Amino acid sequence: MHSHDGIDWSTWIDRLRGADELAADALRQVAQRLVRPATRVVLDVGCGAGGMGAAFAQALPAGGTVVLVDAEPELLRAATAHVRAVGSDRVDVRAVQADAADDGLLELAPRADLVFASSVVHHLPDQQRGIERLAALARPGGRLALVESGLEQRCLPWDLGLGEPGLQGRLSAAGGEWFRQLRTAMEGAVRLPVGWNRALTDAGLGDVSSFSYLVDHPAPPTDGARDAVLRWLSGMRQVAERWISEPDLRVVDELLDEHGPHHVGRRDDVFVLAAHTVHLGTAPG
């Protein structure tokens, strides 16, 4: 099943699960910060492989409810199984198949004390309308938390000893061009010419604020961090192919060649460092 951006998210389960595992400590801290004493129902829209849903299941008091929402049925099944395994009998875990770009979401999903959506809105054709739709799912006095922007993941030393230095920067620029064209080609795409805080305010939310959290795994890498670097580089190879030079593309291929002498999976100087920003607003009471 392809989403509005043309990405088949059902093929991303392993990648999303690996990212969740690497960020597990940070996600638990975010959940603890967002779940308040009175929070009983959390709605996780665009739940992916269930990493954040699992963190909410651990942070909620016994008897709470985590509602997982995703348009991709395979992701939703995987996330539901994972969160139920983590939550045990402490919390009620429910699954709702719905599209965050469709007003039908408002009929399918319950109102919640906390509505959470990570890296979802920028995949919707009309981002402002998407935020308004998510905000409408928050109970009076409830909150909407969006994870968007931050600082993109860094993994590679500036000089790899292959090709020209600064490969990561050029890959990042290529990824930005890929995303610009992805949004341009998206059917019904509407630009969002303001920052996320303004967008939350324009959606009628108050007490708008933000905070950021780090996913930081310095060199030398653990096996999990090394796998994350490989996933990241492989993904960048796919999206950046049209936008980087042939020499840079050859370097990337050498780094990904597990049988070659320059395989990035054997380097001890790669790392994972990313900052993610949570934008938070409160629904009128």
Return the CATH number at 176: 3.40.50.150
Query: How many domains is the chain built from?
Result: 1
Q: Is residue 1 one of the residues assigned to a domain?
A: no
- The four Cα atoms 179, 182, 188, 191 give a dihedral, to 10 degrees, of 20
User: Which tokens belong to 77?
Assistant: 């099944």
The pLDDT of residue 1 is 42
Residue 157 lies in a domain: yes
**CA 121 remoteness from chain centre:** 10
Dihedral (Cα; 52, 138, 32, 274), 10-degree rounding: 50
SS3 2: strand
Within a domain: residue 117?
yes
Q: What phi and psi, each to the nearest 5 degrees, are found at residue 19?
A: -65, -40
What does the alpha-carbon distance between residue 65 and residue 84 come to, in Å, rounded to a whole number?
11
Q: What are the per-10-residue average pLDDT scores of the chain (285 residues)?
A: 56 84 96 97 96 96 95 94 89 96 96 97 96 98 96 96 97 94 93 97 98 98 95 92 94 97 96 98 96
Helix residue spans in 186-222 (DSSP H): 196-202
What is the predicted pLDDT for the residue at 2? Answer: 43
**Contacts of residue 213, Cβ cutoff 8 Å, sequence gap at least 6:** 26, 29, 30, 275, 276, 278
Alpha helix positions (H), 35-112? 51-59, 73-87, 105-108
50 in a domain, yes or no?
A: yes
What does the angle CA 194 – CA 107 – CA 205 come to, to the nearest 5 degrees? 30
Enclosing domain of residue 109: 9-282
In-domain check, residue 3: no
Q: CA–CA distance from 225 to each of 16, 22, 29, 149, 269 (Å)? A: 14, 7, 19, 21, 11
Q: How far is residue 91's CA from residue 56's CA, in Å, rounded to a whole number?
A: 10
Query: Does 210 reside within a domain?
Result: yes
> Does some domain include residue 198?
yes
Are 197 and 210 a contacting pair, CB within 8 Å? yes
Is 43 a member of any domain? Answer: yes
Report residue 181 as tokens. Answer: 């064209």
Question: Which residue is associated with the tokens 């965050």?
Answer: 100
Burial class (CB within 10 angstroms; exposed 0-12, middle 13-18, buried 19+) of 7: middle
